[in-house]
Structure 1
Amino acid sequence: MALHGKIETTLELKSSAEKFYKVWRSQSFHVPKHASKHIQGVDIHAGDWETAGSIRIWQYTIGGKAGVFKEEVSFDDENKIITLNGLEGDVMKIYKVYRPVWQLTPKGSGCLAKLTIEYEKLHPEVPVPEIYVDLMVHMTKDIDEALSTE
């Protein structure tokens, strides 16, 4: 069984690629408000809300359990790609590499959101991070719903 891999899915969103990307690019402090069932908070550890290389700490709930995720964010403005490179936290106890990625592509008045998690397990018995993709899907849908009603 491979220790590293990639898992992905694609969602169609009502929000434009620009609007959704802007939340992650410069307003990620709104994510807990938009996706409060899944994300309880986010704080800046180093940097700020807009600069690539900034480090943020997220408080989330998955499977009824609270978790913490510390990441360094990077942006590809031209291709509307947001990458969270895992540094510490609960998920890093089982994965050596954990990298969620959102890629947004305009489609009509909305967009397609390709959600990917690149990972490397610490041990062969560690599961593929499907529950974390589910978390990304729920967060993305909640953010999209909030943005489409603004």
Structure 2
Amino acid sequence: MGLSSKTIQVKIKSSCDVFLELWKTNPCQVPTLTPTTIQNCQIRDGEVGTIGSILFWNYFHDGKDRVIKTLTQDLDEAKKLVTFKALEGDLLELYKTFVTHVQVDTNGSNNLVTWTVEYEKLNPNVPDPDTLLEFYKEVTKDIETHQLRN
């Protein structure tokens, strides 16, 4: 099985920079903005907002409570990109490798959040992570709703 990738773009009305800053420097605040999808985020090692920090997440996906431990793999200011790599958790029961990139871009009056997942299935019967991309879309909309209220 080789490495595959899938992408979803979500147009938002709120600030891209504020959205990215949340994921980059304060991911532990995400659960307060998305309580139906992400319930908890705890720093396990390192310092939030630095490459190499390890976060532990509790989330609700496909009708089940799930967990994941991630490594902050990249914080690219120029590309407005944050990358998390799965180290442990439910996703690794299906995928040998799972990396999530969240990137923002302002193009004229359009603010876009792009979620890209790179993954390698453990076997050919494992589904593509389409429902996870929908999950990321829902998370984005929850954060946007909170940002527009403030």
**What TM-score bracket applies, with the shorter chain setting the length?**
over 0.9
Q: Which residue of 1 aligns with 2:6?
A: 7
For residues 148 and 30 of structure 1, the distance between their equivalents in structure 2, rounded to whole angstroms, comes to 16
State the one-letter code of the partner of 1:58: W
Unaligned runs of 5+ in 2: none
How many aligned positions are there? 149
State the one-letter code of the partner of 2:140: T
Q: Which residue of 2 aligns with 1:78?
A: 78
Moved more, 61-70 or 105-114: 105-114
For residues 34 and 67 of structure 1, the distance between their equivalents in structure 2, rounded to whole angstroms, comes to 18
Quote the sequence identity (%): 32
For residues 76 and 5 of structure 2, the distance between their equivalents in structure 1, rounded to whole angstroms, comes to 19
* Partner SS for 2:32: helix
* Partner SS for 1:117: strand
CA apart distance, 1:4: 2.9
Unaligned runs of 5+ in 1: none
Maintained 8 Å contact 2:28/2:43: no
CA apart distance, 1:107: 3.4
For residues 92 and 66 of structure 1, the distance between their equivalents in structure 2, rounded to whole angstroms, comes to 15
What TM-score comes out, normalization by structure 2 length?
0.94
State the one-letter code of the partner of 2:39: Q
Q: Which residue of 1 aligns with 2:122?
A: 122
What TM-score comes out, normalization by structure 1 length?
0.94
